[in-house]
Amino acid sequence: MSDKYKIPEGYEWEVHNLHAYADKKKAFERGEITLVQLREFEHQYMESEEQRAMRWRRDHVMRELDIENAKNFRSFKENSKAFAKKMADMGRGISRWWYTKPKKAVPGKGKLIQNKITGAWQQEYKPNKSMNMRAWLDAANQGKVMSHMNPQGKSLDREPTEQEKGISKEAKKERGKKVWQWVLGETNNFGRGWVDPKWGKLNKGEPGQGGRMPKVGKYTVK
């Protein structure tokens, strides 16, 4: 594997089932379970070596892309015409949101603010009426604030239901897939191109993975 994608020392392992893991750690702090039981849970839901390596490569590439995006946006702000011409000569486009203000995602008084480093837009939260912190918390407990994000008016001071946890988990998976597809596109499939000449389809294998030895029965052919 290239040193570029080598996992550094001290890179932590990730435990899946985060809600249950948080509950287990609280139970350990209260003395309800032993350290051995906590470690058994961590071992049961610990990510595999392959998942950890893939997570590191994904995070590493995302950081590189964030740095490149910030550099490009700074060049665009300094001289937009020259930068646009440079990208056109390279056969690359630029984000339309760098020079076009999008519509508000949700109704309200909150203004759209453009990030000065990345060029991304974010709508600030501004309530339709002013209230002090205690009144806001009381209203939040009754589900009477942020109605655009909480149309059912549920209390914000509660634990998520199992159904909501499942929806959140599936949404997280879907976002992860979209991010990984975007990474493959931005890196040209990590420099390997979009088409595998041998199989005639997109090679989505992780970079740095060598070919596996063919097996015959229980034995590996060397």
pLDDT of residue 26: 92
| Rounded alpha-carbon distances, angstroms, from residue 183 to 23, 36, 76, 204 | 33, 39, 22, 11
Q: Determine the pLDDT at residue 17.
A: 79
What does the DSSP 8-state code read for residue 27?
A: H
pLDDT at res. 90: 85
Write down the pLDDT at residue 99.
86
pLDDT under 50: residue ranges of the chain:
1, 210-222
According to the model, what pLDDT value does residue 215 have? 45
- Residue 9 structure tokens: 């020392």
SS3 label, residue 189? helix
| Residue 188 neighbours by CB under 8 Å, 6+ apart | 194
Residue-level pLDDT at 213: 45
